[in-house]
């Protein structure tokens, strides 16, 4: 079975709207394992300006300890810790954001909830890269098509300032599938993530998403995205 990496998940117990407890976390990890996932990046929500970085880190650390103790000795995927940061204007100026990267690396998963990628926002995203050397991975990039100036966000990916992640569920079937496929076809997508929250709500579908990509866009496209995940892990471990 192919080895997959899941770069986006809410599998840490009781820290956000994802896994409710450690039992559910173990169940999600075993589902991922069955799909051929060998490494999962846990990316709990960091709610932009509303969360305090030190409190967040402490909360995440406790959940991590709990999960790591529970999974010890079990044949489950490796878990690395990151966060999914809800973008807030000015974060490019904030020194503390370095504490929110994936496993202390130069990669950071970034999501958006506003509706305009205007020049100031684009400049601020660029600052994350230029000032701190952090490479933003845009979380579920297929979702932002209706936002104003979406093309400017795509330009950041095109020029290599940012990387792009797509949700497995969007590859398969949801309201974003049309745009998701357009982005795959045009070569914008670097990574696939399950963005799994629970066994019921958005369960992990990594293997199915790869199958769809293989079928529609060929082995080479699927393999390139799969390898990107593996290379990412090699870079951040």
* Sole residue written with tokens 């330009």: 155
Among 84, 124, 142, 190, binds Fe ion (CB under 5 A): 84
- What residues does 9 pair with on adjacent strands? 196
Q: Mark the segment that binds Fe ion (CB under 5 A) among 82-90, 117-125, 198-206, 215-223.
A: 82-90
Among residues 24 and 195, whose Cβ is nearest to Fe ion?
Answer: 195
* Residue 124 contacts Fe ion per CB under 5 A: no
Q: Minimal distance in Å, beta carbon 10 to Fe ion? A: 6
Q: What is the crossing angle of helices 206-217 and 219-236, to 10°?
A: 140
156, two tokens? 């950041």
Residue 142 engages Fe ion in binding (rule: CB under 5 A): no
Instruction: Closer to Fe ion by CB, 39 or 165: give it.
Output: 165
Nearest distance from residue 174's CB to Fe ion, in Å?
A: 14
Chosen residue from 195, 204, 222, 228 binding Fe ion by CB under 5 A: 195
Token couple for 137: 């991975």
Helix axes 119-132, 150-158, angle to 10 degrees: 30
- Residue 143, classified by CB atoms within 10 Å of its CB into exposed (0-12), middle (13-18) or buried (19+), is buried
User: Taking CB under 5 A as the rule, does residue 190 contact Fe ion?
Assistant: no
Element (H, E) at 7: none
Contact positions vs Fe ion (CB under 5 A): 84, 195
């Amino acid at each position: 079975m192919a080895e997959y990496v899941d770069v986006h998940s809410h599998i840490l117990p009781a820290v956000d709207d994802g896994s409710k407890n450690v039992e559910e976390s173990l169940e999600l990890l075993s589902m991922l394992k069955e799909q051929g996932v060998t490494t999962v990046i846990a990316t709990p929500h960091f709610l932009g300006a509303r969360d305090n970085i030190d409190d967040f880190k402490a909360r995440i650390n406790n959940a991590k300890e709990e999960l790591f103790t529970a999974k010890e000795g079990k044949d489950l995927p490796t878990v690395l810790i990151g966060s999914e940061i809800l973008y807030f204007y000015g974060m490019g100026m904030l020194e503390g954001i370095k504490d929110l990267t994936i496993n202390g690396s130069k990669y950071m998963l970034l999501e958006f909830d506003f509706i305009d990628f205007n020049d100031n926002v684009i400049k601020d995203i660029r600052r994350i890269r230029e000032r701190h050397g952090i490479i933003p991975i845009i979380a579920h990039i297929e979702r932002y098509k209706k936002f104003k100036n979406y093309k400017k966000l795509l330009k950041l990916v095109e020029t290599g300032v940012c990387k792009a992640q797509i949700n497995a569920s969007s590859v398969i079937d949801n309201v974003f599938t049309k745009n998701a496929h357009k982005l795959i076809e045009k070569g914008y997508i670097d990574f696939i993530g399950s963005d799994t929250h629970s066994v019921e709500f958005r369960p992990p579908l990594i293997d199915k998403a790869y199958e769809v990509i293989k079928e529609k866009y060929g082995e080479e496209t699927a393999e390139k995205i799969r390898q990107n995940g593996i290379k990412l892990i090699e870079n951040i471990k």
